[in-house]
């Protein structure tokens, strides 16, 4: 019995140490997010984050060797809370099946859910981008560029198959996300007030609009000044009398 206890003690100790380290990292992340949202980015240093967490700056850097590591941890934690891994896998699954409708629907739903679920963090990221802060740079590197690359490659492949309209794949990829992203920005960050349908109805409507715009054969009608004038009854009679 004694041997059994002795053999399992190191693993128990390791588990407790790991849990303690994870809790400490989480505490740092929460402190950083709080300071960013209350003091802004210019007023938030690693020293201020450490002080808010009640530890030395040296201990902070034992958990995050650089500021970039801290910012990456913040973004990865927010992605975990949003269930981003599962949603990315759903997008890849729809892409493998060439299911344009489900892919666009999932993409729209994910973007709208992010704005609805955590508008404070989306507002924080907007400020980071406007100020050119490293948090925005880290977000672009971790999520922005990989997502755009994935969508561009999907669009290009579907263009080759003749399903999506011709054009720069990067622009079409941007078109897939622009409508829900702007809607989320206006309604959840800028306080746009207007009667709007449910989230489900918005998702369904945006999915249809996006698909109608990017599918092959869905070119827009020509401008009004380039369209032939509608034929009137007099035009029809005149044409008949001359034939």
In tens, the pLDDT along 33-42 reads 999 888 888 7
Q: Which residues contact 175 (CB under 8 A, 6 or more apart)?
A: 210, 213, 214
Parse the chain into domains and list their residue ranges: 20-65, 83-218
Q: What are phi and psi of 164, to 5 degrees?
A: -100, 150
> Tell me, what's the pLDDT at 195?
62
Q: Which residues contact 34 (CB under 8 A, 6 or more apart)?
A: 52
In tens, the pLDDT along 114-170 reads 999 999 999 999 999 998 999 999 999 999 999 999 999 999 999 999 999 999 999
CA 221/CA 132 separation, integer angstroms = 40
Predicted model pTM: 0.76
More confident residue, 136 or 12: 136
In tens, the pLDDT along 74-113 reads 999 999 999 999 999 999 999 999 999 999 999 999 999 9
Q: Which residues contact 163 (CB under 8 A, 6 or more apart)?
A: 98, 100, 215, 216
In tens, the pLDDT along 47-62 reads 999 999 888 999 999 9
> Tell me, what's the pLDDT at 44?
87
Domain 20-65 falls under CATH 3.30.43.10 = no
More confident residue, 68 or 4: 68
- Architecture field, domain 83-218: Orthogonal Bundle (1.10)
| Helix/strand/coil for 99 | coil
């Amino acid at each position: 019995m004694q041997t059994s206890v002795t053999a399992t003690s190191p693993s128990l100790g390791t588990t407790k140490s790991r849990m303690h380290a994870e809790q400490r990292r989480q505490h740092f992340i929460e402190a950083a997010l709080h300071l960013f949202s209350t003091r802004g980015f210019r007023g938030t240093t690693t020293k201020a984050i450490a002080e808010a967490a009640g530890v030395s700056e040296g201990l902070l850097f034992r958990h995050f060797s650089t500021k970039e590591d801290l910012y990456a941890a913040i973004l990865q934690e927010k992605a975990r809370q949003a269930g981003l891994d599962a949603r990315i896998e759903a997008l890849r699954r729809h892409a493998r099946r060439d299911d344009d409708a489900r892919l666009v629907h999932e993409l729209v739903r994910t973007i709208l859910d992010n704005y609805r679920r955590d508008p404070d963090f989306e507002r924080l990221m907007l400020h980071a981008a406007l100020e050119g802060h490293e948090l925005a740079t880290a977000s672009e590197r971790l999520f922005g560029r990989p997502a755009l690359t994935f969508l561009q490659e999907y669009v290009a492949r579907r263009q080759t198959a003749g399903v999506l309209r011709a054009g720069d794949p990067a622009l079409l990829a941007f078109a897939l996300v622009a409508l829900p992203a702007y809607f989320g920005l206006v309604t959840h960050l800028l306080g746009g007030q207007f009667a709007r349908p449910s989230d489900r109805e918005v998702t369904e409507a945006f999915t249809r609009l996006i698909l109608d715009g990017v599918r092959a054969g869905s070119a827009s009608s020509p401008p009004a000044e380039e369209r032939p004038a509608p034929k009137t009854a007099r035009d029809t009679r005149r044409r008949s009398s001359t034939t």
